Amino acid sequence: MVSSNLLVEDRGAVRRITLNRPDKLNALNHATLTDLHQAFEAAGRDDAVRVVVLTGAGPKAFVAGADIAEMNGLSPVQARDFSRHGQALMRRIETLGKPVLAMVNGFALGGGLELAMACHLRILADTAKIGQPEVNLGLVPGFGGTQRLLRLAGRGAALELCLLGQPIDAARALQLGIATRVVAADQLEAETDRVADQLAASAPQALRGVLDAVITGGDGPLEAGLDYETQVFAVAFSTQDMKEGTGAFLARRKPEFSGR
Ligand code: COA
């Protein structure tokens, strides 16, 4: 896929998608949302891709939000479509069925934090700043921020970030459970590669089962979630990788997962 808004590169089974509008701090305009949607569709379809890393180009930002210049001219009907467009992308990422890591190299504000929260793990540089500053613009988060922040970090954190609109630093993001881990900025890439490689060597169907159980199974009441977990647990027994993983443990050797 060729896009001026994104860079896409593969390192083994790890696909890196880089938002590439550094002069606008990688702000999400309509075209970039569309390109991201297509890039995630392609990554989801490609069996050779086992893990996706999402990041932003340039030294300053992961993503500094939805494109304010573009939003300034929207009618309410266009705003509704823009919100739905963004939300559909976030849901596509969340339900991709393979792990997506956000490598947060700087500002993740507004739509940037919403994008990072749709990813399954968030690795932050210690210099990163995250927040939902929409109220400062007379706006409300529209790409799922109120709902994902609530589910990820609880009502207190969701209201603190969305009402006050102040960015928080990486240490506070870790404390609130929004960051998965925080590393020195010069270690961000190496640490993200390390986590991505670990996931790429893991059994893809088992990872998919975990993602399905936590994300889809976790959306309903406990009984339904437990039932969902039983289903994905049983499905794992149909895979060669389950035989390989348990057999390798018993034979005291390292497993080689094929993805089947
Ligand atoms: N939408 C559109 N353009 C944006 C943007 C956004 N969300 N965030 C930054 N930009 C643009 C700026 O307009 C500027 O473009 P220009 O050089 O053509 O004027 C460029 O990116 C660099 O941003 P700048 O503000 O000069 O950088 P800074 O280092 O002084 O400040 C931020 C960085 C992140 C604090 C500041 O850009 C900011 O507050 N951005 C908006 C954050 C926000 O409210 N996001 C939520 C949107 S709903």
Q: Are strands 6-11 and 14-19 parallel, antiparallel or unpaired?
A: antiparallel
Closest ligand 1 atom number to CA of residue 109: 45
Grade residue 4 by pLDDT with cuts at 50, 70 and 90.
confident
**Mean pLDDT of the region 179-194:** 98
At how many degrees (to 10) do helices 111-118 and 145-164 cross?
A: 140
Query: Residues near 257 by Cβ (< 8 Å), separated by ≥ 6?
Result: 201, 202, 203, 204, 241, 244, 245
Q: Whose CA is nearest to atom 38 of ligand 1?
A: 64
Q: Choose which residue among 20, 24, 140 to substitute to test ligand 1 binding: the one with the highest number of ligand atoms within 8 A of its C-beta.
A: 24
Cβ(133)–Cβ(108) below 8 Å: no
- pLDDT band at residue 202 under the 50/70/90 scheme: very high
Distance CA 112, CA 29 (A): 12
Question: What is the spatial distance between Cα 171 and Cα 222, in angstroms, rounded to a whole number?
Answer: 32
User: What's the whole-number mean pLDDT along residues 125-134?
Assistant: 98
Give me the percent of the chain exceeding a pLDDT of 90.
98
Q: Ligand 1: which of 25, 113, 168 to mutate, most ligand atoms within 8 Å of CB? A: 25
Q: Name which CATH class applies to 204-251.
A: mainly alpha
**111 CA from centroid of ligand 1 (Å):** 12
Residue nearest to atom 39 of ligand 1 (CA): 64
Q: Which residues have CB under 6 Å of ligand 1? A: 24-25, 27, 64-69, 107, 109-110, 133-134, 137, 139
Please count the CA atoms within 13 angstroms of the CA of 250 that sit on its side-chain side: 6
DSSP 125: E
**pLDDT for position 172:** 98
Question: pLDDT tens digits, residue range 40-68?
Answer: 999 999 999 999 999 999 999 999 999 99
Q: What is the pLDDT of residue 60?
A: 97
Residue 215 DSSP symbol: I
Mean pLDDT of 195-206: 97
Asked about 114 being catalytic, the answer comes back as yes
What is the C-alpha separation between 21 and 148, in angstroms, rounded?
25
**How would residue 2 be classed by pLDDT, with cut points 50, 70 and 90?**
low
Catalytic option among 9, 134, 229, 256: 134
In angstroms, the CA 68 to CA 155 distance is 27
pTM above 0.85, yes or no: yes
Residue 3: predicted pLDDT: 78
How large a percentage of the chain has pLDDT more than 70?
99
Q: How far is the CA of 232 from the centre of ligand 1 (A)?
A: 43
Going by their DSSP bridges, the two strands 14-19 and 51-56 should be labelled as parallel
Alpha carbon nearest to ligand 1 atom 29, residue: 60
> What is the average pLDDT score of the chain?
97
Average pLDDT (12-25) is: 98
Cβ atoms of 147 and 121 closer than 8 Å: no
| Of 235, 227, 231, 247, residue with least CA distance to 206 | 235
Query: Stretch 234-246: mean pLDDT, rounded?
Result: 97
6-200 and 204-251: identical CATH topology: no
| Alpha-carbon gap, residue 214 to 221, rounded angstroms | 12
Tokens 């300034």 sit on residue = 72
Angle of helix 222-236 versus helix 204-211 axis, rounded to 10? 170
Active site residue 134: yes
Give the architecture (CATH level 2) of 6-200: Alpha-Beta Complex (3.90)
Domain chopping of the chain, boundaries: 6-200, 204-251
Q: 3-state SS of the chain: helix, strand, coil percent to 5?
A: 55, 15, 30
